Homo-oligomer: A and B are copies of this chain.
Amino acid sequence: MKSANANYVFRALADPTRRAIFEELTRHGEQTVHALTRYAGVSQPAVSKHLTVLKRAKLVRHRRDGRETHYRVQPDALAPMVDWLNYYGAFWRDRFDQLEKVLERMEP
């Protein structure tokens, strides 16, 4: 099995700027490269390159609309990392701690 994508996902999220972009897209939804550039604190080409890396990992999708390109997260792409943690990382006790948090969020 050993999804070749797992590598891309782990690599993509290793960089803090890339994580910040992903986090921003998660919190505030779809955004243009321009908006992300203002947020990220680096140049526009740098943001474009980061988005390319995130795209390679399928962590984001893009949608062109005229002269602007909107990016949004594709959270399913985190599956390899989640699976990896299920397997090698988290033990049952931790899992259940997380489950409690999840349930708390469901019925506040």
Contact = CB atoms under 8 A, between A and B. Distances in A.
A7 B17 CA distance: 11
Contacts of A1: none
Interface in A75-99: 75-76, 78-79, 81-82, 84-86, 88-92, 94-96, 98-99
Copies per assembly: 2
A67 interface: no
B98 A78 contact: no
A16 interface: yes
Interface of A: 7, 10-11, 13-14, 16, 19, 22-23, 26-27, 75-76, 78-79, 81-82, 84-86, 88-92, 94-96, 98-99, 101-102, 105-106
